[in-house]
């Protein structure tokens, strides 16, 4: 079973899973806050936030990658700020995770926002009259009722992160073992004479992972929806 994929291919699969899982885990709290603010908040600059969240969906990925490269290089405005703390994104797997998180962010926020909007404000008002603070209302009423959408957003973001190519290769290049995820590995194998076999095997893995993520998301959402409704 293990010799079905070569060591380099395995490395790419493992790295992709690590990068995508980190990207989703790290952006989940911010995603929840953005989704909640867009769904329930009434504040100046709401449209601006909406635009910012959706920007990576519309910009060419190479532009996003290049902006990240400018901002987070050792001499860049954010990179130089973070360097004294020993945090560096440039040309490392954490950079790949950052690029994936930003590219996947709109896909994560959208289902979450729709789910928060669908929660009946009347139930939240009822919880408040029963003595629940805003935080408790969120934790015990809003979040549990929106959970199917939150899970769907997280899985969609994971699937998108697994497939991220343009921003990743522009920002952190294509370094085997560090930033060579499945898509960049496929690209590299295709550039190599005799690499088609390895590329095709990774394509198969890619398709399987994407299908698996979608099915898992469907199954989870339905399970949660049943628990919430019945």
Partner 1 sequence: MIAIHVKKRLGAFDLDAGFEAPPGVIALFGKSGSGKTSLINAVAGLLRPEAGRIEVDGAVLFDGAARIDIPVHRRRVGYVFQDARLFPHMSVAKNLAYGGRHDRDRVIDLLGLDTLLDRRPAALSGGERQRVAIGRALMSDPRLLLMDEPLSALDAERKAEILPWLERLRDEAGLPILYVSHAASEVARLATTVVVMEAGGVRRVGAVGEVLSDPAAVGMIGAQEAGAVVRARIAGLDRIDGLTELALSGGRIVLPGRLGRLGTHLRLRISAQDVILAREKPQGLSALNILPAEVTAVDEGPEGAAVGLLCGADRLLARVTRRSARALRLEPGQRVWAIVKASAVAPDDVGGAV
Rounded Cα gap, residues 37 and 30, in angstroms? 10
Looking at the Cβ atoms of 56 and 149, the one nearer to partner 1 is 149
CB 59, min distance to partner 1, A: 38
CB 98, min distance to partner 1, A: 35
DSSP tag of 5: S
Looking at the Cβ atoms of 1 and 229, the one nearer to partner 1 is 229
CB 123, min distance to partner 1, A: 6
CB 162, min distance to partner 1, A: 31
Rounded Cα gap, residues 114 and 147, in angstroms? 11
Looking at the Cβ atoms of 47 and 129, the one nearer to partner 1 is 129
Looking at the Cβ atoms of 145 and 182, the one nearer to partner 1 is 145
Looking at the Cβ atoms of 145 and 186, the one nearer to partner 1 is 145
CB 145, min distance to partner 1, A: 6
Residues forming the site for partner 1 (CB under 8 A): 120, 122-123, 125-134, 140-141, 144-145, 227-230
Rounded Cα gap, residues 148 and 111, in angstroms? 9
48: region left, alpha or beta (phi > 0 left; psi from -120 to 50 alpha): alpha
Neighbours of 78 (CB within 10 A): 14
Quick one: how many helices (H) and strands (E) in the chain? 11, 0
Say whether 119 sits in a helix, a strand or coil: coil
DSSP tag of 129: H
């Amino acid at each position: 079973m293990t010799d079905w994929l070569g060591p380099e291919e395995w490395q790419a699969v493992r790295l992709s899973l690590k990068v995508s899982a980190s990207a989703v885990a790290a952006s989940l709290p911010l995603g929840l806050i953005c989704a909640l603010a867009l769904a329930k908040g009434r504040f100046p600059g709401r449209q601006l936030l909406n635009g910012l969240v959706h920007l990576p969906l519309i910009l060419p990925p190479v532009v996003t990658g290049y902006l990240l490269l400018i901002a987070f290089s050792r001499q860049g405005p954010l990179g130089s700020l973070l360097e004294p703390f020993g945090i560096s994104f440039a040309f490392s797997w954490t950079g790949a995770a950052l690029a994936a998180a930003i590219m996947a962010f709109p896909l994560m926020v959208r289902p979450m926002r729709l789910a928060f909007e669908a929660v009946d404000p009347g139930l939240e008002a009822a919880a408040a009259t029963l003595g629940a603070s805003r935080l408790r209302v969120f934790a015990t009423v809003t979040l549990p009722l929106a959970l199917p959408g939150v899970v769907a957003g997280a899985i969609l973001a994971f699937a998108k992160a697994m497939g991220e190519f343009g921003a990743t290769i522009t920002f952190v290049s294509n370094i085997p073992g560090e930033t060579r995820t499945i898509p960049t590995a496929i690209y590299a194998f295709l550039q190599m004479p005799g690499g088609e076999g390895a590329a095709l095997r990774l394509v198969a893995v890619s398709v399987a992972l994407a299908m698996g993520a979608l099915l898992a998301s469907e199954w989870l959402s339905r399970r949660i929806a049943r628990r919430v409704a019945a």
